[in-house]
């Protein structure tokens, strides 16, 4: 189905010199402690490194729902101080500052002023999706490390802009897909990568929401600002599929629409869709995602089952069902909140000049899969990764 040239260009997207490190980490069997020792060092300029024993000073842009949660996680990390907070909403900035009052952060309304404020080593970007690419590029250009919320960007061109800025910076960039840092996702990915179910063939997955997105936050309902639910939300699952299969899809097809969710007024995002991703070599993902359910329906929420030649892995419940043998749990480490673990990992990488597990390549690959799916849904036809990369696409 794919010629050699297609396969080569797709593979360079997967690897990019970096994704290989992440895949190798997961496949290495070194267990959860490997999270603290990612495979690849970053050649940071010596003069810019945080000296051992010094606090890491960080800034945060956007302290809404997610930013506040991430701020609390930052506040739990020893040896880290929050020296700057930015939000266009002053009430939010003040509420966030109160949570880290001991650090006496400087408060900003304009993110560019925060980026040029000097006592900062690392910056968290926690703003709405349409602002991620622009802000992350500014942060990387300023020579700071960056933890950037998912999705990395809302267009192929912006994904590439971020990748180039990160690569040129020689600083740490971690994308905010936190699930693979914690049990059960870490152990489930590791089990599949190590062959616990032989060759994976089919992933059956969904995310069915019984409630709705927060109606008081307009950007969630504007496709241009959120990237539709596929970029805003499903990118978590796409990162997991890519990690499970250690690859990215060759092509995608699917259908979806906006059938019943029209409030708040002006809402222009899909409320349901179903996609099939073809990863080549007899590997497929069937994924559905919707906001049309009702609360408390059994099996709703997020679900990923991996069916392979040697059995089945239920990712969300962390169970292996071998074709021959008794069901067993996947490795149950690392325990704890996935956001806290991801934030801890980011600071470990900053201190030790290491590439994070969810590095720029994983961020890029997750966003590209979402853009591939989005284009397939928009056009109603099969779209190849080769076409996406050569023609570009934007939410």
Ligand X SMILES: NC(=O)c1ccc[n+]([C@@H]2O[C@H](COP(=O)([O-])OP(=O)(O)OC[C@H]3O[C@@H](n4cnc5c(N)ncnc54)[C@H](O)[C@@H]3O)[C@@H](O)[C@H]2O)c1
**Is residue 111 part of the contact set for ligand X (CB under 6 A)?**
yes
Backbone angles phi, psi at 278, to 5 degrees: -105, 110
Q: Among 13, 42, 56, 87, which residue sits at the site for ligand X (rule: CB under 6 A)?
A: 87
Query: Which one of 25-33, 58-66, 264-272, 290-298 is the stretch in contact with ligand X (CB under 6 A)?
Result: 58-66
Backbone angles phi, psi at 180, to 5 degrees: -65, -5
**Is residue 363 part of the contact set for ligand X (CB under 6 A)?**
no
Query: Which one of 65-73, 154-162, 165-173, 257-265 is the stretch in contact with ligand X (CB under 6 A)?
Result: 65-73
Q: Least CB distance from residue 214 to ligand X, whole Å?
A: 7
Handedness of CA 227, 228, 230, 234 (dihedral sign): positive
Q: Least CB distance from residue 59 to ligand X, whole Å?
A: 11
**Is residue 228 part of the contact set for ligand X (CB under 6 A)?**
no
DSSP three-state, residue 47 = helix
**Is residue 232 part of the contact set for ligand X (CB under 6 A)?**
yes
> What whole-number distance in Å separates Cα of residue 19 and Cα of residue 358?
9
Handedness of CA 171, 11, 132, 182 (dihedral sign): negative
Q: Least CB distance from residue 339 to ligand X, whole Å?
A: 7
Q: Least CB distance from residue 227 to ligand X, whole Å?
A: 9
What is the Cβ-side half-sphere exposure of residue 91, based on CA atoms within 13 angstroms?
0
**Is residue 65 part of the contact set for ligand X (CB under 6 A)?**
yes
Pick 152 or 320: Cβ nearer ligand X: 152
Query: Which one of 48-56, 87-95, 296-304, 347-355 is the stretch in contact with ligand X (CB under 6 A)?
Result: 87-95
Handedness of CA 177, 180, 182, 184 (dihedral sign): positive
What string of DSSP letters covers 236-254? Answer: HHHHHHHHHHTS--SEEEE
Query: Which one of 24-32, 124-132, 198-206, 322-330 is the stretch in contact with ligand X (CB under 6 A)?
Result: 124-132
CB 351 within 8 A of CB 50: yes
Pick 2 or 225: Cβ nearer ligand X: 225
Which residues fall within 8 angstroms of residue 388, CB to CB, at 6 or more apart? 156, 368, 371, 372, 375
Residues 147-176 that bind ligand X (CB under 6 A): 149-150, 176
Interface size with ligand X, residues (CB under 6 A): 24
Q: Least CB distance from residue 67 to ligand X, whole Å?
A: 5
Query: Which one of 120-128, 288-296, 301-309, 325-333 is the stretch in contact with ligand X (CB under 6 A)?
Result: 120-128
Pick 65 or 257: Cβ nearer ligand X: 65
Q: Among 13, 21, 26, 61, which residue sits at the site for ligand X (rule: CB under 6 A)?
A: 61
Q: Among 16, 128, 249, 311, which residue sits at the site for ligand X (rule: CB under 6 A)?
A: 128
What is the Cβ-side half-sphere exposure of residue 270, based on CA atoms within 13 angstroms?
25
- CB atoms near residue 143 (< 10 Å): 13
Pick 249 or 363: Cβ nearer ligand X: 363
Q: Among 9, 11, 15, 64, which residue sits at the site for ligand X (rule: CB under 6 A)?
A: 64
> What whole-number distance in Å separates Cα of residue 296 and Cα of residue 48?
51
Residue among 271, 261, 288 nearest 228 (CA): 271
**Is residue 42 part of the contact set for ligand X (CB under 6 A)?**
no
Query: Which one of 122-130, 262-270, 327-335, 366-374 is the stretch in contact with ligand X (CB under 6 A)?
Result: 122-130
**Is residue 313 part of the contact set for ligand X (CB under 6 A)?**
no
CB 96 within 8 A of CB 63: yes
Q: Among 56, 120, 123, 131, which residue sits at the site for ligand X (rule: CB under 6 A)?
A: 131
**Is residue 356 part of the contact set for ligand X (CB under 6 A)?**
no
Please give the distance of CA 257 from its chain centroid, rounded to a whole number: 24
Which stretch of DSSP H or E encloses residue 205?
strand 200-208
CB 142 within 8 A of CB 118: no
Q: Least CB distance from residue 359 to ligand X, whole Å?
A: 16
Residue among 38, 45, 4, 6 nearest 22 (CA): 38
What is the Cβ-side half-sphere exposure of residue 146, based on CA atoms within 13 angstroms?
34
Pick 63 or 197: Cβ nearer ligand X: 63
Residues that bind ligand X (CB under 6 A): 61-67, 86-89, 92, 111, 126-129, 131, 149-150, 176, 178, 217, 232
């Amino acid at each position: 189905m794919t010629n050699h040239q297609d396969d080569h260009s797709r593979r360079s997207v997967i690897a990019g010199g970096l994704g290989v490190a992440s895949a190798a980490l997961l496949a290495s069997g070194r267990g959860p402690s490997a999270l603290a020792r990612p495979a690849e060092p970053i050649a940071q300029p010596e003069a810019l490194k945080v000296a051992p024993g010094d606090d890491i000073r960080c800034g945060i842009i956007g302290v809404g729902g997610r930013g506040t949660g991430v701020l609390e996680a930052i506040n739990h990390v020893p040896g880290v101080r929050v020296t700057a907070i930015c939000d266009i909403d002053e009430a939010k900035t003040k509420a966030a500052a109160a949570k880290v009052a001991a650090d006496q952060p400087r408060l900003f309304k304009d993110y560019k002023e925060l980026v040029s404020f000097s006592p900062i080593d690392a910056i968290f970007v926690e703003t709405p999706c349409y602002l991620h690419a622009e802000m992350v590029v500014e942060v990387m250009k300023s020579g700071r490390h960056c933890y950037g919320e998912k999705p990395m960007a809302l267009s192929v061109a912006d994904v590439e802009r971020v990748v180039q800025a990160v690569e040129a910076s020689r600083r740490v960039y971690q994308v905010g897909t936190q699930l693979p840092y914690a049990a059960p996702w870490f152990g489930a990915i590791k089990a599949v990568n190590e062959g616990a179910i032989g060759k994976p063939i089919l992933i059956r997955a969904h995310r069915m929401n019984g409630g709705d997105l927060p109606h008081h936050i307009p950007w969630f309902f504007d496709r241009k600002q959120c990237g539709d639910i596929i970029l805003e939300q499903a990118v978590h699952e796409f990162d997991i599929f890519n990690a499970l299969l250690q690859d990215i899809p060759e092509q995608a097809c699917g259908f979806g629409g906006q059938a019943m969710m029209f409030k708040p007024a002006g809402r222009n995002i899909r409320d349901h869709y179903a996609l099939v991703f073809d990863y080549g070599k007899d590997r497929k993902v069937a994924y559905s995602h919707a906001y049309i359910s009702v609360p408390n329906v059994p099996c709703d929420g997020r679900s990923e089952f991996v069916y392979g030649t040697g059995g089945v892995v239920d990712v969300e419940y962390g169970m292996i069902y071998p074709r021959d043998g008794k069901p067993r749990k996947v490795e149950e480490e690392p325990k704890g909140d996935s956001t806290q673990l991801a934030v801890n990992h980011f600071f470990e990488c900053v201190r030790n000049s290491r590439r994070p597990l969810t590095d720029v390549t994983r961020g890029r690959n997750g966003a590209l899969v979402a853009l591939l799916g989005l284009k397939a849904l928009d056009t109603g036809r099969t779209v190849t990764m080769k076409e996406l990369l050569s023609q570009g696409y934007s939410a």
